[in-house]
Amino acid sequence: MTQIQTSPAQRPTGHVPSTTLPPLSPGQQLKESIRELLGVAVDRVTGFATEKVEQVAQSLEGVAAGGGPKIGAILGGVEAKLAGSNPVWGAIKGGFGSLSPAARVGMLLLLVLAVVLLPVTLVLVLVGLIVLAVVLMATTRSAN
């Protein structure tokens, strides 16, 4: 395969059509500059708004994940209401579910202790009422 190289003087010199546009008037240049400026401004504002929405979403995820029993109760109640069940029971479950493991154990121990001590408390209240009744009867008889 043979290639023939031509010197610059031998190359054909045809008129190459220009791809440049005719010069714009100052008014048209101003309009084009304003369009570009508005495009950049919209891009910046959109980027800023997107960043802020992402920050808010992350903070809401953090609140939902570790917001404590109050937020857990609210979210549990809303979820139960949307599911069509009792929102109070959903709030109780949501609040209990958002407690730390140590707090859950403490609450369970407190409930067990209350159930175990309930009969004792009931007996003490009844004994107190009997004593009060005896004292009231004794004071009314001695006054006569």
Residue ranges covered by each domain of the chain: 27-112, 113-144
64 in Cβ contact with 78 (< 8 Å) = no
Token pair 């009997």 is at which residue?
130
Residue 101 predicted with pLDDT over 80: yes
pLDDT average, residue stretch 92-110: 85
Residue 76 predicted with pLDDT over 90: no
Residue 12 predicted with pLDDT over 60: no
Among 20-29, 106-115, 120-129, where is mean pLDDT lowest? 20-29
Q: Which of 88, 67, 69, 68 is CA-nearest to residue 78?
A: 88
Amino acid at 69: P
| Cα 37 from Cα 118, distance rounded (Å) | 76
Residue 19 predicted with pLDDT over 80: no
Give Cα separations from 42 to 20, 28, 31, 52 (angstroms).
Answer: 29, 21, 16, 15
Residue 134 predicted with pLDDT over 90: yes
Residue 111 predicted with pLDDT over 90: no
75 vs 44 pLDDT, higher one: 44
Q: How confident is the model at residue 135 (pLDDT cuts 50, 70, 90)?
A: very high
| Cα 63 from Cα 103, distance rounded (Å) | 19
Residue 7 predicted with pLDDT over 90: no
| Cα 137 from Cα 106, distance rounded (Å) | 44
Token pair 């369970």 is at which residue?
108
Tens digits of per-residue pLDDT, 54-67?
887 777 666 666 66
The secondary structure of the chain, three-state, reads: CCCCCCCCCCCCCCCCCCCCCCCCCHHHHHHHHHHHHHHHHHHHHHHHHHHHHHHHHHHHHHHHHHCHHHHHHHHHHHHHHHHCCCHHHHHHHHHHHCCCHHHHHHHHHHHHHHHHHHHHHHHHHHHHHHHHHHHHHHHHHHHC
